[in-house]
Structure 1
C-alpha cells in the first residue's frame, strides 16, 4: 500500500517518539508544580518552546502550545480580533474564501456572535490572491488579515511576504496558517504577526501544535483557568507533545532543502504523466506557486470518490481534499472559489507526497490512468 495522503496526516517519526518517551515516563510531572518533579517538566517545556521559536524565527515567549493547527487558527483569529475590538473598536476581518474551515468558521463566529464584518477577497483560477486586492480590502477598522501560506487542498502558495509588508504598512496584524507549508517552505521571516503550525503533518503526534504570536499583539484567550502559557491558553501543558513538536519541526527544517530538491521533480513528472495519459484530467492549483509535494486534479465525467476507491484497490491511498471535510456531500469550497463548477469539483483527487520520497511515481500514474478508465469505461 502506497500512502499519498500526507496532507491529512503522517506517521510519527522514530526520532520524535524517542524524544517524547522520557516525558511520558520518567519526567512526568506537571510543569506548574513547584517541586523537583514538576520543575524538570517545566525545564523540558521551556526548552521545547525555545526550539520551536528558533524554527519559526520568533521570540521564545511568543510561542503558545496548542492541541493542533485548528486550535492555533481559532486562537489567532478569534483571540486577536476580539482583543482588537476591545482595545480599539476594530470589528472587521479579511480572509480568503479558500481557507481552511478553522479560519472560515472562526470568522463566521466573529460575525454571528460579536458583530464583525468580514471581507473574503477573491482568488484567481489557480487559487492565488493578488496582494493588491488584500490591500484594497483593508479598512480603518480592520482587526486582522488571516490567510493560509499554502492551501491544504490544491497546494497553491500565497505571496506571504508581500501581504505581510502591506499589513505592516497599514498597522494590521497578519495571521498565517502554515500547517501545510511546514517542512516545505521557510517559516522564519514571513513577516506575519502570528503563525500557526501543527505537528501531525511532519511526523509528530496528532494533538500537537503551536501559535506564535508577537508579544505586542493583544490576544484574548479562548480557554480560561490556570493561566498557563502566559495567560494565553489555560490548561496543563502536554510536555511530551511539546517536545515531539519541537523535534519534528527541527527535523523538517533541517531536511527541507533536500526534500524539496528531491520531491518537486518527482511531482512534476507525475503531473505530466497524468495530464498526458488521462484525457479528462485537469490540474488544480497554481502550476508554479505550489507546494512541492502536492498534485491535485479533477477528472471530468467521473466521481472523485469512485476514482479513490479504484486507486485504493490498486494499492494507492489518496484523498478528495481536506480530511476535515471528509464525508461531506458538498463539493470543495476551495474549488468552487477558484471558479470550478460544482459537478467538476466533485471529481477532485489530491495526492500529497511524503518527506523523504525518492522513488519514481510512474506506478502511481499507471494506477491513476487505470482507475479513471475503470470508472468511465
Structure 2
C-alpha cells in the first residue's frame, strides 16, 4: 500500500482531491495502532497523520490544549504532566491486545473515542473534545467547535467525528479540555466475590458520596495477571479514589464502613494503584499471544454483565473481566467469535453493543465487527456519510 504522510493540512487537501479525481479510496490512520478495528479497509493507498505533529497551543490556566492530530499521545501526556494535568478520559494503549506496532496519536484517540476506566465519572473521549479541524471527502478543510465548552458552534459535528474511525474525514487538529492531576490515588480491593455480588457492591459504592473514579471486577481467572499476582487470593473487586489526600482518606473510610462486611478488604497505595488501573485500561490479561483468539468489547447495563457472561459460558468457552462498574465487559473467546450467540444474549439482557476487536482474518471478514444498527439509525448514518464523504472515499468497508 502507498502510504501518504502529509506535513500540512494543505497537503492533506491536495492528496484527498487527487484521490477524489481518480476515484481512489483512501485508508485513513493515525499511528496505525488500531489498524485491526473493524473490517479490513478496501483501499490501495493510505493517508496517515503521523507527520502532522506538534502541540499548537496549551494554556494550563484554562486547562485547554490544541494539538495537530498526529501528535504522539505520549508527548501530549508528558506536556500535561509537566503542568500537573492529565487527560480526563484515561485513553488506553491497545497495541498489546491488537498485536500492532506504531505510536498512539491524540487524533487517533479521538477518532476511535478511546475511553478508559475513568469514563464513569469523566465521560468519554468525545466529551473532552472541544473543537476540530478536518478534511472531508470533498477535499474541503473545515472546522467545528471552539476552545471553550460554552462555544457550541458545530458541537454535534465534533461529537460525530469522535468515534467515526476515519470514515467521515481526516482530523488534522484537535482542541480538548484537560483536568488537574490528583494529589493522591488509592484503590480498595474487595476479595472473593462472585460476579453478581461484585456488581452489587460496585453499584452500592457508586451510590455513596465517595466519588469513586474507577470500579472494576477481576474474576479469579484473570486476577493473577494483575500486579504480578500480588493481589489477594480470589476474585478482586476494585474501587479507585483520587483527589486531595485528606479527601481520599475520608472517602476511603466511608466506603470501608459501608462495604467491608461484604468481603475481605485491602487498600493499595498510589504506585500499585497506577500499575493496576493501567493494566485494566490496556486490557492486559488479553494481550495478543499469537493465537488470535477473538476479543470482544461489550457495553451493557452494569447489572446485566454477570448474567450475560454466565449465559454465554453455558454455550461457549469464554473468559471475561469487567470495567465501568460492570458496564464494560471484556470477553475473550477460546475458539470461535460466536457473534450471533453473543448478540442474541445481549438483546435478551436488555440491549447493548458488542464490538469485535480481534479475530482471525476469516472471522473478521465474515462478522459485522460493530453492532448492527437499527434501520432508522442506519439510514441517518448513511445520510451523514453521504454529506461528508459522498463518494465513499474514506475507509470503505471499515464499519461493516
TM-score (norm 2): 0.26
Structure having greater relative contact order (Cα 8 Å, sep ≥ 6): 1
**Bigger fraction of residues in helix:** 1
**Bigger fraction of residues in strand:** 2
TM-score (norm 1): 0.28
